[in-house]
Amino acid sequence: MSIRAVASKDFLDARRARIVWFVGIHYTLLIVLFFLQVRLDGAEGPPDLLVALWNMVFVGAVFVPAIALVAAYLAIAGERESGSIKRLLSTPISRRDVVLGKYVSRAGIVAASLLLGFVVASMLAVAWFDSFPAAALARIAALTTLYALSYVAVAIGISAATATRSRAMVGALGFYFATNLVTLNDDVSGLAGIEYVLNDVFELGIGREPIQFVGMLTNPTRAYLVSTIGVFPEDLVGRMDLPAPDDLSWYVQPEVAVVILGIWLLVPVLLGVKRFERADVS
């Protein structure tokens, strides 16, 4: 068997996981609601589709990781706990093929669940707004998909490193809480803690941008939000109280954030392969 065979079999099994589609449909419904809000607010003037797209980014930052983690955190750990992984490994297939095949399968499921939201957003943009910035929407869809696949990679890495469902669940929930829910409030985020220790306790006087770069490296949600800044014009970025790319150092530019998301897509899977190859599944 090969990576392709593992992915094909897993896709047919995993696509019946209703909770993935349940979360994906709710993501689409939230997009509709935010688009509708902007449409109704446009009663006093032309509705701004770019504002609706920014709302779509914010919704994605919260819900896309949930879709990805739910879809993938039991991909390997669930089979290890049930014992079915032994039958899979008894065939001519390597542990590396198992991890990579599971990743390909779950990444495909997540991408398919997000596709519905992107299609609906495109239809609403054409129906409700005077202009249709197809390039901006396509870039947001691409960045959101890359963001989702980075969380799939994290979930697969966690699943490959744990032997039970409960441990995989704790790992996935802990990662989501640390990199997403806490991130939404800068006052209690990990970066706020780092800034407090470095500048208030040790009085090192480190600037905001180096700390932001650390946040991008250690948190795919921050990398995603920074990557999307380059999609929007400067006037909207200013209205959203976000820094313009021209005002940022090179290492916190949207393009750098995209590269960091690509690293998040690869590294957790590779670490999962190494950990699973050493795991005792007997």
CA gap 193, 202 in Å, rounded: 12
CA gap 162, 171 in Å, rounded: 9
HSE (side-chain half, CA atoms, 13 Å) at 243? 14
Q: Which two tokens stand for residue 265?
A: 């897509």
Query: Which residues have a Cβ under 8 Å from the Cβ of 189 and sit 6 or more positions away?
Result: 182, 183, 215
| pTM, rounded to two decimals | 0.90
Q: Where are the domains of the chain?
A: 3-183+269-277
pLDDT score for 169: 95
Per the CB < 8 A criterion, the answer to whether 99 and 279 are in contact is: no
Query: Which residues have a Cβ under 8 Å from the Cβ of 33 and sit 6 or more positions away?
Result: none
Residue matched to tokens 């744990």: 162
pLDDT along the chain (282 residues), means of 10: 82 69 82 85 64 86 90 91 85 90 92 89 87 86 96 96 94 90 63 76 79 87 90 71 76 93 96 92 73
* Helices assigned H by DSSP within the chain: 3-14, 18-41, 49-72, 77-82, 84-89, 95-128, 134-161, 165-176, 190-195, 208-218, 220-229, 234-239, 254-277
Per the CB < 8 A criterion, the answer to whether 132 and 46 are in contact is: no
Q: Which two tokens stand for residue 54?
A: 């920014």
pLDDT score for 36: 86
- The DSSP line for 104-152 is HHHHHHHHHHHHHHHHHHHHHHHHH-S---HHHHHHHHHHHHHHHHHHH
